[in-house]
Amino acid sequence: MASYNFPETTLRSFTNNVFLKMGCSAEHAMLATDVLIRSDLRGIDSHGVARLNGYVRLWEKKRINTSPDIRIVHETPSTATIDGDSGLGLVVAPFAMKVAIEKAEKVGSGWVSVRNSNHFGIAGYHALMAVERDMIGFAMTNASPLVAPTFSVERMLGTNPMCYAFPAGKYPPVIVDMATSAAANGKLEIAQRAHKSVPGGWIQDSKGAISEDPHELKNGGSLLPLGSDRDHGSHKGFGLSATVDILSAVLSGANYGPWAPPFVAFLEPPSDPVGQGLGHFLGAMRVDGFRPVDEFKSHLDNWIERFKSARPVSGDQQVIIPGEPELIAEKERKVTGIPIVESVVNDLNELALKFGIKQLKIAP
Amino acid sequence: MASYNFPETTLRSFTNNVFLKMGCSAEHAMLATDVLIRSDLRGIDSHGVARLNGYVRLWEKKRINTSPDIRIVHETPSTATIDGDSGLGLVVAPFAMKVAIEKAEKVGSGWVSVRNSNHFGIAGYHALMAVERDMIGFAMTNASPLVAPTFSVERMLGTNPMCYAFPAGKYPPVIVDMATSAAANGKLEIAQRAHKSVPGGWIQDSKGAISEDPHELKNGGSLLPLGSDRDHGSHKGFGLSATVDILSAVLSGANYGPWAPPFVAFLEPPSDPVGQGLGHFLGAMRVDGFRPVDEFKSHLDNWIERFKSARPVSGDQQVIIPGEPELIAEKERKVTGIPIVESVVNDLNELALKFGIKQLKIAP
């Protein structure tokens, strides 16, 4: 499918206008825009402006509140529970991370479980807020149920990402930001659009047989946990996903497991909720709560150098440090612009019509 | 290989005597014994008394200090760094977890990074200490380098386990306790002893080709991260293992990556250490730092029930809740005793000769 490059600023302005038309405050619109554009810049196209229409549809269904009263409902010096008041996860999660960072500044670490929220974009955005303050950042969220636990054919869990981010010295931060399923849903969507098969071990059909057809997900199939099958540790992927679900939702009072509300507006949330909205879990630990920052950073630099120089399987492929591909994409796209596939451009321009804002122009 | 059942008390008494002969205090001997026996009870045979000889050999090489001065070297209200003074990880880690729990009691959570330690047994033991206090427990450790990062043939990381443990109400705790490699080393050892092949995706040979021969590890091969190959997310397993390594060792001042000292005494630690000993990371968060304990527990009970009733792939195999197999083993072995394979019995009885203590008797 054809794709077109747009400058970052063009997409920022467009996205900001949409959020303003949805009734977000100027501050919230700019923040939500930043989360989406940062995702596109970092090469995670599935979580950027391609999702904008999804947020609009949820708002139209009154499942997103664009003027939320986000508040702390319970706290100790190092922990808090936050009610997102059905707000955009894109603004609720940064609010929660700020609380975590403030607590870390006072007592060394801060941990915030969030209920009554919505999809929060890329986990890495939030974890990096801590890294900028010389803290270690943690970010997790539960999500629409698409993944079956080992031994089951039922969609019980989201792709439930875990993110851990660490500040380095002369190198960029180390950022582990990963779905706990074998493949992220975005990769399935790319294969679906391209009518390509996917590796065995990403999905199963409705009866639990391994399938290479990405469309099986529409026929009652499910994504598989990281590890793919029991022999290769799918029970570990399930365990990690369960951890995300419990820290994000059981701990905060959000909906967990199959009760997590779906991101797509055409699917109604379960009629028997066990909590409120989606859940997140965010954390920040001051590096100097453990050792001097410069010592930690110089050792993490050494760690990075040693792993980059690990003996390769083949001569031309070094070890990739977690976070490196996103950084390369960000550097490149800051210069060349952000490629948007034609179907997403059309989608965005329909939004422009709906809201009476300026359409994106495709350069001839 | 033949195995023999021993009552828990027999193995406790034997193990305690060995630790006493090594010069441990009565308190330390009992604690170290408890960690090993609990592992055997829970069915994790690779980390129980089968390892006792390994600890003895490290002590003989003066790499374990049996009268350590374990101390806090840096702290904030919710964080601390602990120097294990080359002690047994089996006593250093519980010391660190106690500190984490005390901090959690005061400010909601406690996080402890540990340097200058040794192998700490099963992660679940330490995390469960928090669960007993209605806290969520976290435990990680780095370990002898056996695992190659994605795209490399070099052993750079240990099987670096992650453990997350959550207190439930009427059900046993949910405990995710997993190596971040595709298979734990213990599973390789079992296949080696039985001269059986292993599933493709657990190990690679010295050139990076997938191997099903568990002995390849002795020929320069390496374990693979969870996910097994790039298509199936081995970069995620690598990322998790890196997270454990950084939190346990880069943060505390222990040896990280390929500098982690080997558990086997016949391999010398690297001559150019980047820190002291092995590293651990332990954490405790008060559940009531987020919501009332009874609310959390009743929702976790509901979570467990819902996952147990997820539609199965085949009728006779329900979803296994993380921690369930260990619990079943513990219940059974409390009654039937702990099965020890013949080679381990012989190994233990050589220790008995060495220390002049009573040998284990095999019932006829």
Candidates B75, B109, B176; nearest CB to A243: B176
Distance from CA of B346 to the nearest CA of A (A): 31
Candidates B164, B233, B246; nearest CB to A182: B233
Q: Residues of A89-113 as b/e, b for ≥16 C-beta within 10 angstroms?
A: bbbbbbbbbbbbbebbeebbbbbbb
- How large is the average pLDDT for residues B3-9? 95
Question: Which residues of A fall within a CB distance of 8 Å from B248?
Answer: none
CA-nearest of B340, B356, B363, B359 to B37 is B340
Domain B68-182+224-295, CATH: 3.30.1370.60
Determine, for residues B258 and A312 on separate chains, whether the beta-carbon distance falls below 8 Å: no
Question: Which residues of B fall within a CB distance of 8 Å from A290?
Answer: 74, 79-81, 113, 251-252
Question: Which residues of A fall within a CB distance of 8 Å from B251?
Answer: 136, 287, 290-291, 296
pLDDT in tens, A64-119: 999 999 999 999 999 999 999 999 999 999 999 999 999 999 999 999 999 999 99
Residues of chain A with pLDDT under 50: none
Question: Which residues of A fall within a CB distance of 8 Å from B235?
Answer: 178, 320, 322
pLDDT in tens, B223-259: 999 999 999 999 999 999 999 999 999 999 999 999 9
The answer as to CATH 1.10.1530.10 being correct for domain B1-60+324-364 is yes
Determine, for residues A152 and B231 on separate chains, whether the beta-carbon distance falls below 8 Å: no
Determine, for residues A310 and B207 on separate chains, whether the beta-carbon distance falls below 8 Å: no
Helix and strand numbers, DSSP H then E, in chain B: 10, 12
Determine, for residues B274 and A302 on separate chains, whether the beta-carbon distance falls below 8 Å: yes
Task: Judge contact between A91 and A282, C-beta under 8 A.
Answer: no
Q: Which helix (H) or strand (E) holds B327?
A: helix B324-336
Distance from CA of B215 to the nearest CA of A (A): 18
Dist CA B242 CA B289 (whole Å): 29
Bridging pattern class, strands A109-117 and A79-83:
parallel
Confidence band for B364, pLDDT divided at 50, 70 and 90: low
Determine, for residues B318 and A151 on separate chains, whether the beta-carbon distance falls below 8 Å: yes
At residue A160, the 3 state secondary structure works out as coil
CA-nearest of A175, A182, A214 to A201 is A182
pLDDT at position A23? 98
Is the dihedral angle over the CA atoms A262, A267, A268, A271 positive or is it negative? negative
Dist CA A199 CA A291 (whole Å): 43
Give the start-to-end residue ranges of the domains of chain B: 1-60+324-364, 68-182+224-295
Distance from CA of B79 to the nearest CA of A (A): 6
Task: Judge contact between B237 and B182, C-beta under 8 A.
Answer: yes
Percent of chain A residues topping a pLDDT of 70: 99
Distance from CA of B242 to the nearest CA of A (A): 8
Distance from CA of A280 to the nearest CA of B (A): 13
pLDDT at position A40? 97
Tell me, yes or no, if the pTM score tops 0.90. Answer: yes
Candidates B156, B289, B322; nearest CB to A310: B156
- How large is the average pLDDT for residues B263-268? 90
**CA distance readout (Å), A15 to A90, A122, B87, B141, B201:** 13, 16, 57, 44, 43
pLDDT in tens, B85-133: 999 999 999 999 999 999 999 999 999 999 999 999 999 999 999 999 9
The yes-or-no answer to whether B1-60+324-364 and B68-182+224-295 have a common fold is: no
pLDDT at B280 over 90: yes
Determine, for residues A176 and B243 on separate chains, whether the beta-carbon distance falls below 8 Å: yes
Determine, for residues A107 and B74 on separate chains, whether the beta-carbon distance falls below 8 Å: no
ipTM of the complex: 0.98
Candidates A107, A154, A252; nearest CB to B107: A107
Strand-pair partners of A164: A138, A176
pLDDT at position B323? 96
Determine, for residues A235 and B320 on separate chains, whether the beta-carbon distance falls below 8 Å: yes
Determine, for residues B306 and A109 on separate chains, whether the beta-carbon distance falls below 8 Å: no
**CA distance readout (Å), B350 to A343, B18, B353, B355:** 72, 11, 5, 9
Dist CA A271 CA A261 (whole Å): 10
Dist CA B270 CA B253 (whole Å): 16
- Total CB pairs under 8 A between chain A and B: 268
Distance from CA of B357 to the nearest CA of A (A): 41
Query: Any idea which architecture A68-292+324-333 has in CATH?
Result: 2-Layer Sandwich (3.30)
Helix axes A26-41, A123-131, angle to 10 degrees: 100
Locate the chain B residue with the closest alpha carbon to A308: B152
Question: Which residues of A fall within a CB distance of 8 Å from B156?
Answer: 306-307, 310
Candidates A295, A303, A311; nearest CB to B152: A311
CA-nearest of B47, B21, B53 to B34 is B47
Question: Which residues of A fall within a CB distance of 8 Å from B204?
Answer: 313
Question: Which residues of B fall within a CB distance of 8 Å from A176?
Answer: 236, 239-240, 242-243
Determine, for residues B111 and A113 on separate chains, whether the beta-carbon distance falls below 8 Å: no
Determine, for residues A107 and B76 on separate chains, whether the beta-carbon distance falls below 8 Å: yes
pLDDT at position A188? 87
Question: Which residues of A fall within a CB distance of 8 Å from B136?
Answer: 247, 251
Mutation target among A78, A162, A252 for the B interface, most CBs of B within 10 A: A78
Percent of chain B residues topping a pLDDT of 70: 99
pLDDT in tens, B134-192: 999 999 999 999 999 999 999 999 999 999 999 999 999 999 999 999 998 888 888 88
Domain A1-60+334-364, CATH: 1.10.1530.10
Confidence band for B218, pLDDT divided at 50, 70 and 90: confident
Q: Where are the beta strands (DSSP E) in chain B?
A: 3-6, 71-75, 79-83, 109-117, 135-141, 162-166, 174-178, 203-204, 210-211, 222-223, 278-286, 338-341
pLDDT in tens, B328-355: 999 999 999 999 999 999 999 999 999 9
Q: Which two tokens stand for residue A286?
A: 């001051």
φ/ψ of residue B253, rounded to 5: 95, 25
Determine, for residues B136 and A247 on separate chains, whether the beta-carbon distance falls below 8 Å: yes
Determine, for residues A286 and B79 on separate chains, whether the beta-carbon distance falls below 8 Å: yes
